[in-house]
Structure formats: C-alpha cells, structure tokens
Structure 1
Amino acid sequence: MSAEVGTRVVHRRYVPYSDAHYAGNLVDGAYSLKLFGDVATEMCIVTDGDEGLFASYADVQFKEAVRAGDVLEISCTLTRVGTRSRTLDLAVTVVARGEPTPERPGAARVLGEPLVATTATGTVVVPPRA
C-alpha cells in the first residue's frame, strides 16, 4: 500500500426511486455527499489500509440534477498526500438516465455525453504509519 498522487477509485451506482424526495424524481444533494464518503473510504483502504475519517469538504458544486433512475459514476482522485491527511478530488457523473413513458415504464438510455452532477474537494485523515 502506498498513497500516491494520481491514485483513482471509481464506483458505479444505480439511483433507486425510493431515494427520490422531490418533484421530477429529484434526489437531494446529500445523496452525492454520501457517495463521496463511500468512494473516499475505499481510497483510504487502497492507499493506507484503513477506512480513514472524512475531515472536511471544500468547494462543493451542484452542477446538474441527480434523478431516480440515473446510473452514476463516482470518482475519487488523490491529489495531495500529507503525513496523515489526504486531499481528494471528487465527482459524481450521470452516465445513464431513466426515461420512463406510459408505454415503456423501464425505458432508459446511456448518455452520449455524461453529465457532471456534483464536484467537491475532500480531506481525509488516516492513522500514522507504523
């Protein structure tokens, strides 16, 4: 295990309709932050052999809507390695979107151009190396 700048972790997740809270099947912004926590945890495991702790977010940007029926790609790139802290660039990208109709309630399509929905910079801390 080695925490190296440029290390990248990616998750994919389907957004269930049970997570929609608003008209138009919109999902709240906290959903993206939860996903950032999951991908950051894997990053800490990969680089430091520990789940680590999320210390802070900076520059959270909600750029596009996340909706029930979306397929999301959540990426985490390690951009800075300190003694115990790590800085991460985080992004939620919509790669497919549900497009139900009365005739085809399960209709969906892969987006030709993925939509960057949420971005942030995060800081995690890990235990000191033994």
Structure 2
Amino acid sequence: MSLAESLSVGFTVTQRHYVPYSHAHYGGNLVDGAYGLTMFGDVATEMCIRTDGDEGLFAGYSNVEFLAPIQAGDVIEATATLARIGNRSRTMEFEARVVCRAAPERGPSAADALDPPVVVTRATGTVVVPKPADSGD
C-alpha cells in the first residue's frame, strides 16, 4: 500500500505487546495506566510512518479514559484509527484491549485468551508530521 493510499480516514494500525512482570508497580500485579499510553505512542508512530513516511511528533491527547486495569502477564492489543487529516496534523482514536491474561490460580504459567477482549484504555490524540518535501514552503 502506498503512502497516498494509506492516508485516509479510517486507516487502522494495530500492535500487540506482552506486559512483563517487571512492569508491575502495584498490588495484584497491576501496571500503571501510562503503559497503555506508551502503547498508543508506539502505534501512532507506526501510523505516521505508514501514512506520511515520517515518525511524526505526538502533540497531545484531547481525551483519555482508563476503563479497566492492566496486569502483568497480559497481552495488550493497541489500535490507532485515523479520524481526521489536517495539513500537518493527524487526529487518531486509540483503543487498548487485553486479549490474553495470566491465570496464576491454575499454575505459574497458565493464561487465557479472552473472548471478548477487555477494553482497558481509550483515547483521542493528535500528532504532527513535517511538511511534505515537495510543498515548496
């Protein structure tokens, strides 16, 4: 898919990460909410590379919702969907879901694939990309 083809509202990028136990900061192996925001930064970077050929720069969030806890041993899926295209700005809708979760009550390495996944974080954010090289500005 070319850059021009991918620069359209609705274009989506998804990444998955395992949450290591070394990231747990709180009782019950809870991970701080910033873990989901870090994933949104990573998926936004991939979105910018795919749509604009540049990593872009995250400008900020207009909305963030922490809906459920993230735990060590989770597999998290983060999705960015292009919601608005400006001259240099790109607004994205983000969602993070737990798709697998550790089940230590069954054994030290037991885990379950979750169906349906658990939505843990949603956000709206804006990134800025450089002017195209051929813009003449």
TM-score, length-normalised on structure 2?
A: 0.92
* Paired residue total: 129
What stretches of structure 1 of length at least 5 have no aligned partner? none
Alignment match of 2:73 (pick from 69, 72, 83): 69
What stretches of structure 2 of length at least 5 have no aligned partner? none
AA in 1 matched with 2:87: T
1:92 aligns with 2:96: yes
**Would you identify which runs of 4 or more consecutive aligned residues in structure 1 move more than 6 Å?**
none
User: 1:45: which partner in 2?
Assistant: 49
RMSD across aligned positions (CA) = 0.8
1:61-109 superposed Cα distances (whole Å, 9 cap, x missing partner): 00010000001100000010000000000011001100113x6100100
TM-score, length-normalised on structure 1?
A: 0.97
The alpha carbon displacement at 1:112 in A equals 1.8
1:55 aligns with 2:44: no
For 1:60 and 1:21, how far apart are their aligned partners in 2? 21
AA in 1 matched with 2:91: T
